[in-house]
Each structure stands twice: as structure tokens, then as C-alpha cells.
Structure 1
Amino acid sequence: MPQMSKVELYAAIRRDHRAGMKVRELERKYNVSWRTVKKAVDSVWPEPRKKLPPRPTALDPYKPVVDEMLRTDLDAPRKQRHTITRIFHRLVQEHGADVSYQMVRRYVSDRKPEILAASGKAPVEAFVPQTHLPGHEAEVDSPQHSGCSPDPDHGGEADTSAPAVPAQAGRPGPRHPDRSRKAPRSLQARVSPPAPASRGSPRASDIRSAQAAEHRLRQR
């Protein structure tokens, strides 16, 4: 038989019991005791699990000391408050407690919010339940906030507060930029890298020297 939850087990036992199966047959079919069959027949929902009492720990004798430290921190400046490490060291050094750091950390993490809530310096988490019957509430978007104007043909009034935008027939939609087009010359001058000079091309100083030599020859 496939594994099922306790709620499903109770529902199956009640269904077979209404069909006429006896208690012993239900015990063999679902591999349960007669007490479980009786509880399933008497109640639709299983009984909630009983909470086990907390086990005693080595920190129990020092819990009032830790609570007093946490209450003192309520009126102390932020930098002077006890950290978990400081509380642990004080318990070991001042009181000789044989406890672990993890034990102190768990207790402080659970106890500190309770002390803050009891002192009224911490907001208590709460919620407001809301139940709405079907058809009793509805949400409607207002034309003024939705940006849509009522249709005069269906009994509505046209919104004249906003100017009408003339429609442009045949206006093309947004186009993607053509990456193949060349950039402007001014941009090309700033972006394009300088062309490397070839080794065989004459330099400007050589041209000026040649022109000066030719000019002197003509004067002679």
C-alpha cells in the first residue's frame, strides 16, 4: 500500500467503514490498531501531536542571569550592549558555567525578541484577516487614471480635458539603426586612428630641403 498521510488514512478508513467493512478488516487492510480505527471513525481530523516538555539543559540555572543581561541592554547604548560572545564569556568566567556557545546562542536568539516585546520596545508582528464574499467587492479602473477615454457610442462621455493627438497615417514605425551607414566626417576624424606612414613616402622636411636646393641652383 502506498504511503499516505494521516488525514488521507482517516478519510480512507471512514470511507471503507461507511461501505460496511468491519473493524478487524480495516485493521488488516491498513495495518493499524483498533484504536486508530476508532479515532478515524469518531473524528474527521487527527488529533494534534502533543508537545513534548523541554529537556533540561546545563544552561537552565543561568537563564535568569542571561535574562538580566538582556534587560539591562534595553536602556544601554548600542555599543555597550552584550553580544552573544560576551554573554558566553561572562557565564564561563564569572559564573563558572559549563555550557557551549551554541547553547547560549540558541537561547539568546529565542529569548531576546520575547524580552523586547514584553518591554514594548519592539513591534509585535500581527496581521489583519480579510475575507471577501463573492460578488460583494469589485475593482474598476477609472478612465482618468487608466489613460482610456470612454466611448460616446456606448453611453459614455468623451474626455475633453486632454488634447487629442492627430493620427498620422502611413507613419513608419521605429527603425533599427543601419550599422552599415558611415559616421559623419567630424566623428570619423575623432574616432578613426591615424594612418601609418609608409616607409617610401618623402617627409615634409625632405621636400622643403629639395625645394631650397633647386632655388639656389636657379639663382646661380
Structure 2
Amino acid sequence: MELFASIRRDARVHGLSIRALARRHRVARRTVRQALAAAEPPERKPPKRRAPKLGQLKSVIDQMLLSDLDAPRKQRHTAQRVFDRLVYEHRAVISYSTVRQYVNGWTWTV
């Protein structure tokens, strides 16, 4: 925010070119153009990532979690337990964090 303000101020007061402003503030020329176009920097967009290895196992995970809906709270599958079962029973080569994110998102969608 302060960087954008100083870039805009220098462009207005000193009349510097985009290249000179980039050199002075040690940023890319694209950043200078963004600063001159708007007073605030654009919001960052988090990349949407896919989990291709999980695609084949989603139905298996869904079955595990659906069966847990009737089970007592202490006997339900945790993300770690789901991961362990996938590795042991299905010989899945998948990361724990991928399984954890899917299980976490699943509880909100069902």
C-alpha cells in the first residue's frame, strides 16, 4: 500500500518513466503499471489445485465417512485413520495432506 502510494507520488511529482520508477523502487515494471492504474494493489488469487490421485479414491473415502454417520463419536474415522486404511487396504500412493483436506471439506458438504 505504501509502495503504491510512493510510486504514484514519484510519477506525479518527478514525472519519471515506468522504467525509472521500477529501478528507483526496485520492483518490476508490471508492479509500477499496477500502481499507476489503481491506488491499491490487486487482491491475490489463491491457485485452485487439483488432486488427481484422490479422484479414484473419493468414493472409498465417502463410503468410510458415510458409515461413520451412525457410529458413536469416539469410533468415527479421523483423517489419519482414513489415510492409513487407504494405504493399507488399497495400496494408495497419496499424501496425508490431500486426504486431510478432502475429509475436512467433506464434513461441510454432507
TM-score, scaled to structure 2: 0.71
The alpha carbon displacement at 1:76 in A equals: 2.7
Q: How does 1:27-66 map to 2 (within 5 A)?
A: 27-56=22-51, 58-66=53-61
- Residue in structure 2 matching 1:26, options 5, 8, 21: 21
Gap change, CA 1:61 and 1:46, over 3 Å in 2 = same
Out of 6, 14, 36, the residue aligned to residue 12 of structure 1 is 6
- Identity across the alignment (%): 47
**2:62 is paired with a residue of what secondary structure?**
helix
Change beyond 3 A, Cα 1:31–1:83:
closer
Give the superposition deviation at 1:91: 1.7
Question: Who is 2:85 aligned against?
Answer: 90
Structure 1 runs not aligned, ≥5 long: 1-6, 119-220
Higher Cα Rg: structure 1 or 2?
1
Paired letter, 2:90: H
Question: In the TM superposition, what is the alpha-carbon distance from 1:18 to its structure 2 partner?
Answer: 1.8
Q: Which of 60, 63, 66 matches 1:71?
A: 66
Structure-2 change in CA distance of 1:15 and 1:56 (3 Å): same
Amino acid of the structure 1 residue aligned with 2:6: A
Q: Partner amino acid for 2:89?
A: E
* 1:66 aligned counterpart, secondary structure: helix
* Equivalent position amino acid for 2:3 in 1: L
CA deviations 1:53-76 (Å, max 9, x no partner) are 315464342133213322332233
Q: TM-score, normalised by structure 1?
A: 0.41
Which structure is higher in RCO with an 8 Å CA cutoff and minimum separation 6?
2
Alignment of 1:143-182 (within 5 A): none
Amino acid at match of 1:22: L
Post-superposition shift, 1:79? 4.5
Structure-1 separation of matches of 2:81 and 2:7: 57
State the distance in 1 between where 2:5 and 2:78 align. Answer: 51
Q: Helix, strand or coil: the match of 2:36?
A: helix
Within 5 Å, give how 1:191-210 maps onto structure 2. Answer: none
More helix by share: 2
| Partner SS, residue 67 of structure 1 | helix
- Consecutive unaligned residues of structure 2, counting only runs of 5 or more, are none
